[in-house]
Structure 1
Amino acid sequence: MHAYRSHTCADLTKANVGETVRLSGWVNRIRDHGGILFIDLRDHYGITQVLCDPDSAAFADVEKVRSEWCIRIDGEVKARDPELVNPKLPTGEVEVFVREIEVLGASNELPLMVFGEQEYPEETRLRYRYLDLRRESMQRNMTLRSDVVASIRRRMWDNNFREFQTPIITASSPEGARDFLVPSRLHPGKFYALPQAPQQFKQLIMVSGYDKYFQIAPCFRDEDPRADRSPTDFYQLDMEMSFVEQQDVFDTISPVIAGIFEEFGGGRKVDAPGEWPQISYRDAAKWYGTDKPDLRNPIKMQDCSEHFRGSGFAIFAKLLEQEGTEVRAIPAPTGGSRKFCDRMNAFAQKEGLPGMGYIFWRDQGEGIEAAGPLAKNIGPERTEAIRQQLGLDVGDAAFFLGGKPSSFERVAGKARDVIGAELGLTETDRFAFAWIVDFPIYEKDDETGDIDFEHNPFSMPQGGMDALNGDPLDVRGYQYDLACNGYELVSGAIRNHKPEIMLKAFEIAGYGEDEVKSRFGALYQAFHYGAPPHGGCAAGIDRIVMLLADEQNIREVIMFPMNQRAEDLMMQAPSVPASDQLMELSLRVIPQE
């Protein structure tokens, strides 16, 4: 017999009754039933109930074991009495009578319990992550993650992609976040960077004549943490294709993403790729208040400025006299009660706005009537016109925000999500996808007036060189994101592969020719040697698994994540380097005041 096990803790069935078996695992739970000791023995695969009574030579040793001890047992498989069968376990028809036990690893008193799903502070969970990972939910999440990655690889190979690895130590590149720098020992004063993405390398692979590339790529960005983003590193499905247009990329990656969600979505509805709308960045902001809309929620915001221009509601009327302002309505079907309207008004105040105006419609026996402070100020004709525009009826409401869209869009988008959830309008058992397209390439800093890249700097502008000769803020790129249930899952672009357009694009953002050649020399030079048109995208593995696992925090699907302060509490990173390490790297730490 094998030194540690003849079966896993998920293998045994009634067919094994009478056999002598060997199992190894952890003590999940111990129960004493009148002198008979029952142990739920757990390994990665499942649980088997083992038992021992005073007639067994191993009884005295079994009495000593405690939760999370790692043990090996030898014993005889017996059938459970019919009334004691546990249908929730694959091994629930049998139990193993212990004849011999060996303690493989004793455990100290536990800082957190593994059995059950008790809540513990995140600091405790991350400091003792190896214990936290033993919990059933975490085992399930990490298994799901592994299976998703394996499925992605199979699907990419089936689409004639080949997997190539790109460097982890490279040069700094502007990708929209801060780099993690790595000092060079051999070149004092110079630094490598951990790649924010394999962006330049995958483009160079296309220039090298490889038609389709992918990899499950680690990416490193020094970012502020959020619930759906790791502050240090993450993994993405990175892909690139030659001789393609934007729709070709969509047609390639959409079935891969849809297939993953169909395979691992637990029966939830997955919108078919042919049904995924393509929404411009501008329309997404106008309709949903975000470039990653949750389309499970049917609410679409609308511009209602004309109904308030010159109206009796002075706040909006005066706002609309200023350039670049508007009043936007958030329809709320079935939200027509003063209590709900007041609650949403309080929500806006918590988000830092003075409030949200509202109108709700009711029937007092004399036909439909508009109610609320706004209705009294603008009169019945205007409220009826608003109702008609929004397609609302008795029992419905609408909320209004005014000013420059940049000042209220974020709150409007959040309000739309809250309204959809509280009124039961958002489908909870569906994955709804949308391609967001036509991103602006540039943005202007409100304080300095400087123009910089708004999105990926390596994207082809729509209209090529001609587009770059006009107002930079009007330039749209062949850039696209895939949104799902309010999260960005995929981001990509058709690349700028012409050196003269590349120079012009960077010049507008304040990068001179010498700087472009210095920072992106390989890419710039490669474009002079027959670069093919190419494009691609990257899909966030962590975020995909988070959605599939129905988790709200990305750290629940990352095996060893950092905390909110970008610290690894288990490994105690970041740490202070030894003085000889600094000397070897020609570095000196300047104390912070």
Structure 2
Amino acid sequence: MYRNHTCGELTLADAGKEVVLAGWVQKVRKLGGGMTFADLRDRYGITQLAFSKDYNEDLYEQANKLGREFVLQITGTVQERSSKNLNIPTGEIEIIVSKLTILNASELPPFTIEDETDGGEDVRMKYRYLDLRRTPVRNNLELRHKIAFETRRYLDELHFLEVETPILVGSTPEGARDFVVPSRMNPGEFYALPQSPQLFKQLLMVSGFDRYFQIVKCFRDEDLRADRQPEFTQIDCEMSFVGQEDVLNIFEGLTRHLFKVIKGVDIPDFPRMTYAHAMKYYGSDKPDTRFGMEFVELKDLTTGRDFVVFDSSEYVGAICAKGAASYTRKQLDALTNFVKRPQIGAKGLVYVRYEADGSLKSSVDKFYNPEDLKKWAEHCNAEPGDLILIICGETEKAQKQLCELRLEMGEQLGLRDKNTFNCLWVVDFPLLEKDEELGRYFAKHHPFTSPKEDDIPLMDTDPGAVRANAYDMVINGVEIGGGSVRIHNSSLQKKMFEVLGFSEERAQAQFGFLMNAFKYGAPPHAGIAFGLDRLVSMFAGLDSIRDCIAFPKNTSGRDVMVDAPSTIDQAQLDELNLKIDIKA
């Protein structure tokens, strides 16, 4: 063996012991006076090596020629350090080296392999195998392993079976864009990479498997952002003979278990919040409830004062930022510019300062008198020292704009603590959403989501009002998981396809195998899928999921390390019966 100990385990209790270590050189310190020190690093930690000219001149000369990231094997004796480093577990000892073997020399890395590196993201992604040597990145992947391991253990104890489902599947144009794979043996035909194992896990329920889970790769050809990757990992689950509350209780239990075991945090029972409540008071179906600042509607209190902006608006909404009346004009202008950004799209921002002396000053003083402003403040439960911020417009758009402003204020006021975790379930989503341009309905979740039983009659008369048996788990304003009770009745599934505008032929062509399976005794079933990448990034306190994925893509969907995607040879194209004609 190349080593009998790791670089993270030796302590004063091992003093006097001869050990063999192997790892990478973190740094070399030449102190003069015949002493050189090197830090040897492996996955488990760092141990200081000591080379003395008086003890062994040849080894001392060898040590002075070492460079960063050289791979070494050393033999030596553990001794107490004279200058201790109590910030690391091995900081009280060092190794007096008696034998040094250079297993591999290294070129100077393009960035420093340290916790705080000098490498920009593009460089680190190009040399990701080096970036993975850094302790923070490695810690993220170890955390990922622990979460996946604990998830498997927890679900196994509840009699869930892990079953692998196919990676090469048929295309489902109703969802996000598919990644497609040409079939050599079936010219002109294509597989798709799965966006989720949805259909297969439902078939497993028809097969009597009762409780299924899988930690599975999924693929969506979407525009990327901090919490999206073209390939991502789901904790995918399905259960038979259950209703919504059964699913919520089991997977709330899983989440609380993970917080307790991984982070040592006790999470209280998750509250349930309806979609309608979330949109009305937070402007989002994934509200961040770590802080208040809920929306207050002011439309009734703002009309009839000749302020055309409010009078002509369908919606006037406010948030009350506690203790923010001290915001300067410069800060308020910056907030106005923030909501006017194209990504948010507000036309402006109205503010009311509730001064410490009880007076109220606003940006619309010429239209509203102190009595009017006082009513606004009372409606917002504002107190002296608070700042009221108001946005108006079309209801849905204005609520989304106010949501972005609320989150920004929460950030500025330090209310979005990454070490505080507020979890909840959002329930009673709309079953359908209408595309006005196309004049047809689309499934809010997917076409197999069951409507609320009381709302089934509305599918014929008012489809947009039908609520779904669907639920999302939200933590700190991030959708961590989502699922639904499924349709298990063939006639109801047929009705759903009709409302979505599917012809019988199209429904049969795309989903006939599932509909046929339902004819043979499909049990009531429901499921959920968690984004493992998002869960890990939240536990790690990251702003992006990229650093909890071993080899992620960049924001353009490229793997800059292996230079993918890339062109392929004409011979391969011919073999696949593909003709590529890309015009410049």
Q: With structure 2 as the length reference, what TM-score do the two structures score? A: 0.95
**Secondary structure, in 3 states, of the residue corresponding to 2:359?**
strand
> Which of 273, 281, 284 in structure 1 is aligned with 2:275?
281
- The residue type paired with residue 17 of structure 1 is A
Who is 2:510 aligned against?
Answer: 519
CA shift, 1:453, in A, is 2.0
**Secondary structure, in 3 states, of the residue corresponding to 2:43?**
coil
Who is 1:187 aligned against?
Answer: 186
Q: Counterparts of 1:525-564 in structure 2 under 5 Å?
A: 525-564=516-555
How many angstroms apart in 2 are the aligned matches of 1:11 and 1:402?
Answer: 61
Count, aligned residues: 576
Who is 1:239 aligned against?
Answer: 237
How many angstroms apart in 2 are the aligned matches of 1:505 and 1:302?
Answer: 36
CA shift, 1:248, in A, is 0.8
Who is 1:322 aligned against?
Answer: none
CA shift, 1:270, in A, is 4.9
Who is 2:563 aligned against?
Answer: 572
- The residue type paired with residue 117 of structure 1 is E
Q: Counterparts of 1:400-419 in structure 2 under 5 Å?
A: 400-419=390-409
Q: Counterparts of 1:399-548 in structure 2 under 5 Å?
A: 399-463=389-453, 465-548=456-539
Shift in CA distance, 20/113, structure 1 to aligned 2, threshold 3 Å: same
**Secondary structure, in 3 states, of the residue corresponding to 1:514?**
helix
CA shift, 1:521, in A, is 1.6
**Secondary structure, in 3 states, of the residue corresponding to 1:218?**
strand
- The residue type paired with residue 571 of structure 1 is V
How many angstroms apart in 2 are the aligned matches of 1:259 and 1:244?
Answer: 21
The C-alpha deviation readout for 1:445-471, integer Å capped at 9, x for no partner, is 233333222222210011364231122
Where structure 2 has 5 or more consecutive residues not aligned to the other structure, the ranges are: none
How many angstroms apart in 1 are the aligned matches of 2:124 and 2:85?
Answer: 30
Who is 2:25 aligned against?
Answer: 27
* Structure 2 residue 267 is the aligned partner of structure 1 residue 271: yes
- The residue type paired with residue 542 of structure 1 is D
CA shift, 1:363, in A, is 4.9
The C-alpha deviation readout for 1:252-277, integer Å capped at 9, x for no partner, is 00011122123333x5x5531x2x22
Query: Any runs of at least 4 consecutive aligned residues in structure 1 with deviations exceeding 6 A, and if so which?
Result: none
The C-alpha deviation readout for 1:91-145, integer Å capped at 9, x for no partner, is 2222111111111111112111103412422211111000011111111111111
* Structure 2 residue 112 is the aligned partner of structure 1 residue 113: yes
CA shift, 1:338, in A, is 5.3
Stretch of structure 1 that moved more, 535-544 or 289-298: 289-298
Stretch of structure 1 that moved more, 333-342 or 174-183: 333-342
Shift in CA distance, 535/380, structure 1 to aligned 2, threshold 3 Å: same
* Structure 2 residue 10 is the aligned partner of structure 1 residue 12: yes
Is the contact made by 1:176 and 1:455 (CA closer than 8 Å) also made in structure 2? no
Stretch of structure 1 that moved more, 428-437 or 202-211: 428-437
How many angstroms apart in 2 are the aligned matches of 1:385 and 1:271?
Answer: 38
The C-alpha deviation readout for 1:333-365, integer Å capped at 9, x for no partner, is 21223515444223222343221112122254x
Q: Counterparts of 1:323-472 in structure 2 under 5 Å?
A: 325-337=314-326, 339=328, 340-350=331-341, 351-364=344-357, 368-463=358-453, 465-472=456-463
How many angstroms apart in 2 are the aligned matches of 1:105 and 1:160?
Answer: 48
**Secondary structure, in 3 states, of the residue corresponding to 2:216?**
strand
Shift in CA distance, 90/338, structure 1 to aligned 2, threshold 3 Å: closer
> Which of 253, 256, 260 in structure 2 is aligned with 1:255?
253
CA shift, 1:175, in A, is 6.2
How many angstroms apart in 1 are the aligned matches of 2:131 and 2:558?
Answer: 17
Where structure 1 has 5 or more consecutive residues not aligned to the other structure, the ranges are: 320-324
How many angstroms apart in 1 are the aligned matches of 2:87 and 2:363?
Answer: 57
How many angstroms apart in 2 are the aligned matches of 1:431 and 1:390?
Answer: 26
Who is 1:202 aligned against?
Answer: 201
Q: Counterparts of 1:94-133 in structure 2 under 5 Å?
A: 94-133=93-132
**Secondary structure, in 3 states, of the residue corresponding to 2:30?**
strand
Is the contact made by 1:207 and 1:526 (CA closer than 8 Å) also made in structure 2? yes
How many angstroms apart in 1 are the aligned matches of 2:460 and 2:195?
Answer: 30
- The residue type paired with residue 283 of structure 1 is H
Is the contact made by 2:170 and 2:191 (CA closer than 8 Å) also made in structure 1? yes
- The residue type paired with residue 12 of structure 1 is L
CA shift, 1:552, in A, is 0.5
**Secondary structure, in 3 states, of the residue corresponding to 2:367?**
helix
CA shift, 1:295, in A, is 0.6
CA shift, 1:427, in A, is 4.4
How many angstroms apart in 2 are the aligned matches of 1:132 and 1:380?
Answer: 59
CA shift, 1:490, in A, is 0.6
- The residue type paired with residue 336 of structure 1 is A
CA shift, 1:426, in A, is 4.0
Instruction: Kindly report the root-mean-square deviation, in angstroms, between the aligned alpha carbons of the 2 structures.
Output: 1.7
How many angstroms apart in 2 are the aligned matches of 1:100 and 1:170?
Answer: 56
**Secondary structure, in 3 states, of the residue corresponding to 2:312?**
helix
Is the contact made by 2:132 and 2:138 (CA closer than 8 Å) also made in structure 1? yes
Query: Percent identity, aligned pairs only?
Result: 39
CA shift, 1:317, in A, is 1.0
Is the contact made by 1:180 and 1:193 (CA closer than 8 Å) also made in structure 2? yes
> Which of 310, 321, 332 in structure 1 is aligned with 2:304?
310
How many angstroms apart in 2 are the aligned matches of 1:394 and 1:428?
Answer: 29
Stretch of structure 1 that moved more, 532-541 or 294-303: 294-303
Is the contact made by 1:298 and 1:426 (CA closer than 8 Å) also made in structure 2? no
- The residue type paired with residue 76 of structure 1 is T
Stretch of structure 1 that moved more, 491-500 or 445-454: 445-454
Shift in CA distance, 260/592, structure 1 to aligned 2, threshold 3 Å: farther
Is the contact made by 2:315 and 2:398 (CA closer than 8 Å) also made in structure 1? no
How many angstroms apart in 1 are the aligned matches of 2:340 and 2:480?
Answer: 31
CA shift, 1:174, in A, is 4.6
How many angstroms apart in 1 are the aligned matches of 2:9 and 2:266?
Answer: 33
Is the contact made by 1:8 and 1:24 (CA closer than 8 Å) also made in structure 2? yes
- The residue type paired with residue 544 of structure 1 is L
CA shift, 1:375, in A, is 4.5
Is the contact made by 2:30 and 2:64 (CA closer than 8 Å) also made in structure 1? no
